[in-house]
Amino acid sequence: MQQVNTNEAPFPAGHYSQGIIHEGVVYISGQLSIDPTTRLPIKGTIEEQLMQSLNNMNAVLIAAGSSKEMVLKCTVFISDIELWPRVNTTYAKFFGTHKPARSVIPVSFLHHGLLVEVEAIAALKKN
């Protein structure tokens, strides 16, 4: 196994890696809408928060030698199921024609009172 950490995504605040590579697959830890430079939460609209979370996820994917086009599965945690249509629209804009497997799970609370968190599993690019 190999740990993946990059300054292009928020550095972990707890005892975990941004990602782990194992046997050609990268597992990305949950990404919140945290600015990687300031390490402060971005508390904008659900669209802004989701895009920052996805950009953070993408930074870890790139550091691991993968890309958003290689994502196999995403899990999206949202603080309110009523946000689902807006989440789906923003998610589709980010991924374009690529449609990884996905679960959207409503939760009662996310760290910092944020609205969304995203984790992913992706294949590595073949050399």
Q: What is the pLDDT of residues 38-95, one digit of tens each?
A: 999 999 999 999 999 999 999 999 999 999 999 999 999 999 999 999 999 999 999 9
Model confidence, pTM: 0.94
The tokens for 62 are 């790139």
Which pLDDT score, from 0 to 100, does residue 127 have?
65
Mean pLDDT of the chain: 96
Q: How would you label 65-98 residue by residue, b for 16+ Cβ within 10 Å and e otherwise?
A: ebebebbeebbbbbbeeebeebbeebbeebbeee
Q: How many CB atoms lie within 10 A of CB 124?
A: 16
Q: Hey, is 13 helix, strand or coil?
A: coil
Q: Hey, is 103 helix, strand or coil?
A: strand
Q: Could you tell me the residue range of the domain that residue 97 belongs to?
A: 2-123
Q: How many structural domains does the chain have? A: 1
Give the CATH number for residue 46: 3.30.1330.40
